[in-house]
Amino acid sequence: MNAGHPVDAERPGAVETVAGPVADVGATLMHEHVFGLSPEILWNWPDIPEGWNLETRAREAADRLTELKEHGVDTIVDLTVIGLGRYVPAVQRVAELTEVNIVAATGLYTYDALPPYFGNRGPGSLFGGPDRLAEFFVRDITEGIGETGVKAGVLKCASDHLGMTAGCERVFRAVAEAHRATGAPISTHSHSASRGGLEQQRLLAAEGVDLGRVVIGHAGDSTDLAYLEELVAGGSYLGMDRFGIDTISSFEDRVATVAAMCERGHAGRMVLSHDSYCFNDRFDHEVVRRRHPDYHLLHISRDVLPELRRRGVTEEQIHQMLVANPRDILTPREPY
């Protein structure tokens, strides 16, 4: 069966996408975003220069994804969750216009405090009560997001330079609970400069998570091979997923690190991506374009893969990072 062909939702191994379950995700970019939106800005100042028209932006995004398909990529994982402006109805429209599979995520993105809706509820909050984060995440996976019917296929959580703050810890524990209840994989945002992936692994392991079901995101920001091998030794996948953001780590450093890790036998524990957006109203598009000219969905296909091949990375290793590893991560597992 071809990648992206819809299948019976009850079929074992089917991966949930925005357009429904598919049997084979094919070549996959594991950390991208379709839309990053600021709802309160859009509600109150709809004439902002960036502009938001769902149909216009959906067609623009679909065109970009269709071009990506022409470059050999079948699926993207859209790691836009609460805190990043997730709006699944818009992504549904994109999915109607392109053959690229889009895997939706659930979770919550913060480096510190929780949004007031959750921050004012739950353990340690002003008003107390039960922590419902895991309940919300599980519902997104098992029933669907909002009224869309779209089921999330992956969980997302984040910590950054502030470390594992109380708010981040609460999200990580809720993600771990939802993971165990559903078997859905976990993908993180980590701060490589402070070796933050190790702290994430420790907390998730303490919550009973199989670290082999975890992608430590933004591991590719690091050139510290000892740190990366420590994450691999813990069992997790490494998200080499910010190709094109050269201000954090240069193109040369990113490809050299992936090539070195492949040479050391770790292709089976890496996935590739850009962390790019089709449309994001939180940044000035022209400034981003000038500062990060390679920050787009085609950079890996056009530039990164040829350079990896030049450095001795084999076709088998590239297939492992783009096809086999994502398939293993995204294939549903039983709760535990």
Nearest to 196 by CA among 171, 221, 213: 221
Q: What is the 3-state secondary structure of 167-217?
A: HHHHHHHHHHHHHHHHCCCEEEECCHHHCHHHHHHHHHHHCCCCHHHEEEC
Q: Is 191 annotated among the ligand-binding residues?
A: no
CA distance 214 to 186: 5
Q: Helix, strand, or coil here: 220? A: helix
| Token digits of residue 185 | 């994989």
Find out whether 292 is annotated in a ligand binding site: no
> Does 31 carry a binding-site annotation?
yes
Closest CA to 12 of 195, 256, 211, 183: 183
Is residue 179 marked as binding? Answer: no
Q: Tell me which residue of 314, 210, 306 sits closest to 267, measured CA to CA.
A: 314
280: left (phi over 0), alpha (psi -120 to 50) or beta: beta
218 is in an annotated binding site: yes
As a whole number of angstroms, the distance between CA 67 and CA 73 comes to: 9
Enumerate the known binding-site residues: 31, 33, 156, 189, 218, 275
Enumerate the known binding-site residues for Zn(2+): 31, 33, 156, 189, 218, 275
